[in-house]
């Protein structure tokens, strides 16, 4: 029965779960899969989530089913390992998220009005989450902000939690002033402190930059991804133009590449202007 299921293209979730069970079989399974545990699989889980986000950013809809499948496999993998250890199973995972969705959407599954803005629904979601945390014994304000989040995202979430209890600057002016202060401390640290102390000062500066992003309602991860894409795109143009001249970046110098960078910037601005007119 199990062999027939794993070869059935219409087998759905049952097929995927059986494939994972077979891969983890201690006698007939895959040695690599058998050797894994929660700690070794967790980095793959993060990587697959980022690849889903990347496909969405690139609007690569033909790739998205495969990327979502890779991410779903991570859930099935963790659930299979948990079941083997007697901790919980896949059905417990599905039950937990289903219960959470019902509890956090009283305007859909309960008697609350649906006549709310998306912003109000977001506020209600956070209120319900806060009540859930508060119901736990010894709960603290910053509990539950996952350590595995990208650092900038976690910084924003920590700051949001603190802001809910009044620990926040009233406007962006104070944040910008703090950025200037932290930047000055970093320059001083560069010349007089140890490598570890320089890293600490740099972390402080990034943390305040994340706070500015929060005040400006900017997603710092998305902003940095966009900046990375812009840098990649413009540097690619530098390489193109150097290649036309029969050169590589290694055969160029900073002055030439900086001039080409400015040319790439001007090219992009002109393209945006044309698109705006169109």
**Structural fold of domain 140-218:** Helix Hairpins (1.10.287)
pLDDT in tens, 225-277: 889 999 999 999 999 999 999 999 999 999 999 999 999 999 999 998 888 76
Same fold, 2-102 and 140-218: yes
Q: Where are the domains of the chain?
A: 2-102, 111-138, 140-218, 221-277
Query: What CATH code would you report for 2-102?
Result: 1.10.287.1080
User: How many whole angstroms separate alpha carbon 151 and alpha carbon 172?
Assistant: 21
Burial of 97: CB neighbours in 10 Å, binned 0-12, 13-18, 19+: exposed
Tell me, what DSSP letter sits at residue 149? S
219 compared with 188, residue with greater pLDDT: 219
pLDDT in tens, 85-127: 999 999 999 999 999 999 888 888 888 888 878 878 777 777 7
The top-scoring range by mean pLDDT among 49-53, 88-92, 123-127, 168-172 is: 88-92
Question: Per-residue confidence at 211, pLDDT binned at 50, 70, 90?
Answer: very high
The reported pLDDT for the residue numbered 112 is 82
Question: Per-residue confidence at 149, pLDDT binned at 50, 70, 90?
Answer: confident
The reported pLDDT for the residue numbered 68 is 97
Average pLDDT on 154-166 reads 90
- With a pLDDT cut of 90, the percent of the chain lying above it is 63
Confidence (pTM):
0.61
User: How many whole angstroms separate alpha carbon 145 and alpha carbon 158?
Assistant: 7
Question: Per-residue confidence at 136, pLDDT binned at 50, 70, 90?
Answer: low
pLDDT averaged over every residue in the chain: 90
User: How many whole angstroms separate alpha carbon 101 and alpha carbon 108?
Assistant: 10
Tell me, what DSSP letter sits at residue 250? G
């Amino acid at each position: 029965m199990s062999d027939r299921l794993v070869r059935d293209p219409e087998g759905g979730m049952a097929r995927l779960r059986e494939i994972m069970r077979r891969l983890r079989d201690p006698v007939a399974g895959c040695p690599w899969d058998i050797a894994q545990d929660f700690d070794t699989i967790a980095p793959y889980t993060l990587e697959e989530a980022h690849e889903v986000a990347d496909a969405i950013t690139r609007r690569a809809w033909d790739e998205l089913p495969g990327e979502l499948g890779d991410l779903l496999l991570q859930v099935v993998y963790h659930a299979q390992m948990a079941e083997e250890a007697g901790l919980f199973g896949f059905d417990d995972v599905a039950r937990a998220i289903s219960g959470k969705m019902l509890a956090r959407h009283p305007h859909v599954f309960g008697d609350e009005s649906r006549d709310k803005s998306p912003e109000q629904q977001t506020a209600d979601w956070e209120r319900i989450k806060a009540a859930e945390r508060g119901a736990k014994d010894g709960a603290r304000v910053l509990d539950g902000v996952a350590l595995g989040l990208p650092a900038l995202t976690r910084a924003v979430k920590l700051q949001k939690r603190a802001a809910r209890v009044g620990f926040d600057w009233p406007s962006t002016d104070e944040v910008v002033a703090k950025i200037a202060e932290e930047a000055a401390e970093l320059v001083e640290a560069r010349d007089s402190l140890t490598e570890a102390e320089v890293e600490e000062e740099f972390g402080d500066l990034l943390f305040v930059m994340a706070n500015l992003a929060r005040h400006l309602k900017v997603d710092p991860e998305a902003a940095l991804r966009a900046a990375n894409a812009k840098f990649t795109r413009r540097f690619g143009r530098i390489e193109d133009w150097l290649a036309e001249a029969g050169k590589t970046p290694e055969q160029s110098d900073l002055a030439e590449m900086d001039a080409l960078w400015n040319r790439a910037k001007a090219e992009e601005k002109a393209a945006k202007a044309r698109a705006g007119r169109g």
